[in-house]
Structure 1
Amino acid sequence: MFNEMLDYIKNNQQEIIIYLVLSLLAVIFLVGIIIWINKYLYRKHHDFGCKHFELEEFDKAIQEFNIAIKLAKKPLSGKKSDVENTSFLLAQVCIASSKWEQAIAALTECVEISPNKTKYHTHLAENYLREERPYQARESLDKAFSLVSIDAINEIREKKIHAMMRETKNPEIAEKLSGLKTPMAVSESEELDKLEILKPDFEGRKFILEGLAGDEPSSLNLAKLYIRQYILEKNGFVDESQDLEEEGEKEQKEEEQKKDSHQVPYLAKAKEALEMLEVDAESAEFYNASAFLSVQRGDVKAAEENYERAIMYNPQYAETYYNLALLCMDKLNDPERAIENLRNAIEHDAELAKAHHNLALLLLGSGGNTVEAKHHFSETIRINPLFSEVYWDLALILAKREYKEFLLG
């Protein structure tokens, strides 16, 4: 029988080839039909899910998206991008319907497909917090932080103006350099900058930090968030929402923000965040934040004491000397002590551009060493060539005849 089959194949090769080709074409056609059907069904259930989501029929939307995800995972017809996009939609539906655990599962699927997208890690952190799982939330947030670039941080610092301008109140400096301005740090924190990139809206940042509050770094960041928002709104800056809103609604929202901006007890909230750690305060940052709140209350003595405590706790922390120098200049009318503290700040952090900048201005304004002042201006520009206030100040100084020859020499 085997020999007969071989003879048949040998004598009918052309016919057999035709049968094989036709069979192959039939298989390809069948596979193509199956792929088309799966893709059609995927689009159908995906679209149904979107419609149910729009109508706030969340259970039906979840059901449709789950079917769509299964279809998107089919061999040949499925695509990872479809699984990712539909899983994210599923997560959004679950969040809208308060199904946090299902949202976490859907977002985890997204992370497995695209681990370098910060939005998935950020949403995961939020949902872990809703599930009261702060450790997993911190882990997800740290992953998101690690994906934020330095360029993005620098860009948002420029855009959000984390350095406010203030008029000097020292009469000696004002007499010689009237109108000169110097920058004041606004609760600087790289984590806060990263969080602002991940969550542009204030309420979103507050939710995350309040959920993580308990350990010292998180509580300090929460206090700094309130302090930063207080200063930004006090100076006329408000958050820019990235949500697409109708123009009329957006204008109404901005008006409400302006109207209520100073009524929000940000400083009281910051004080509460710090009081959570008052017994176990273990950093100079805690005392720096406490000092800022003391200044806002008008208690300069308490602010000075807090800065001194910060120095006692960590004499290497340059920011404390810098902040104390500002206090000496603005509130204590003691430029000599301000100069001393700025020099201490630079001694402990030679790359602290703002300390070089302020020291240069104080030296000029108080009739100090002009050679040293020129050195500190140069250092400021070397450290941060984009420090725009330096160029502004130099322009003002160049307009004064007694300094022009020296600075251009």
Structure 2
Amino acid sequence: MSFFSKLRERLTRSSSKIGQGLDEIVGDAPEVEDNQPAPVVETVAVTVAEPVARQPEPAPHPRPDPIPQPRPEPAPRPHPEPVPPRPAPVSAAPVAPPAAQKPGLMGRIFGGGAPAATAEPRRALDDEMLEALEDMLIQADMGVETALRVTANIAEGRMGRRVSSIELKELLAGEVTRIMAPVARPLPIYPKKPQVVLVVGVNGSGKTTTIGKLASQFRAAGKKVVIAAGDTFRAAAVEQLQVWGQRAGVPVMTAPEGSDPASLAFDAMTRAEAEGADLLMIDTAGRLQNRADLMEELAKIVRVIRKKDPTAPHNTLLVLDATTGQNALSQVETFQKLADVSGLVMTKLDGTARGGVLVALADRFGLPIHAIGVGEQIDDLDAFDANEFARALVGL
């Protein structure tokens, strides 16, 4: 199963509230309104058909001249008797119903499709509908500003037009794609060796797992990778990273528990340079964005790295947990100030019904989204595709 097949399966399963919400918004319209156009078309067809059938009847009016001619003929000629057979053509008219019965059989076959098309509810795009759409997008963590902008773009030039649920989903997916396409960029690879990738984020965001998955993908692409276990305060984090390193076939540098993570980062750069590694991925301890002391420690790691290489870190990845919702916005603001975040990775999209926060992040910050994760397996992380994500988000 491809990655985006997993995304559609898992994200749609968990974020199906958005698709269901769109169905409900359209379904709230009275069904009577949807059925009215059909009979109108039928009555028009009938009224048009009747005059067409009656138009040949005026032609018989000139028959008063021929009428006197046939009147003398019936006496000498018994041949007018065949005229009664002319009702036979009238009886031939009933033959048409049997012919109509044949399409009736086909109608039974295609009848399942025709009602489906007519049964699809449609609703006029009005202020009430737009307000319901805004509320649903805000509940999906898309944010007030982004939700208002998206609904305004959907409404532009379409007010009063009757739309179906599928059409509304297509419109919403198009707006989401438009916002996210500019930020869907893979992690850049520079000729500089080693390229230092610093991975930051709050506790439990999935940094360690993300590093292991990225290291595996880079190694599969022919890159030599070294990992530095910079979370020296949690032995479990170091052990977890070592397990991922074994899976990916990548060496993991460690330091004694409680060691200075900045010192480990410096030593790791020295080793990666000596071994000719293409990438050095540095894990960091999870820290809350409202803990000034922990954030200062991160700033120290960046300063020490730049003593070794003024251009490093070449990439600073902020790993975000999709289940945190709007809190992800404040995380980006804080980490961007201290660590100069260059790109985002969003994890746990399979565990939330509010994946719209990724749209809000793209709309507000415009930071590149390098990858998204939808599971714990080593192949459950892949490059971000705006169109695939948008369609999965809205339930298409």
What interval of TM-score do these two structures reach, taking the shorter chain for normalisation? under 0.3
Higher RCO, 1 or 2 (CA under 8 Å, sep at least 6)? 2
TM-score normalized with structure 2 length: 0.24
Q: Rg: which structure is higher?
A: 2
Structure that is richer in strand per residue: 2
- Normalised TM-score (structure 1): 0.23
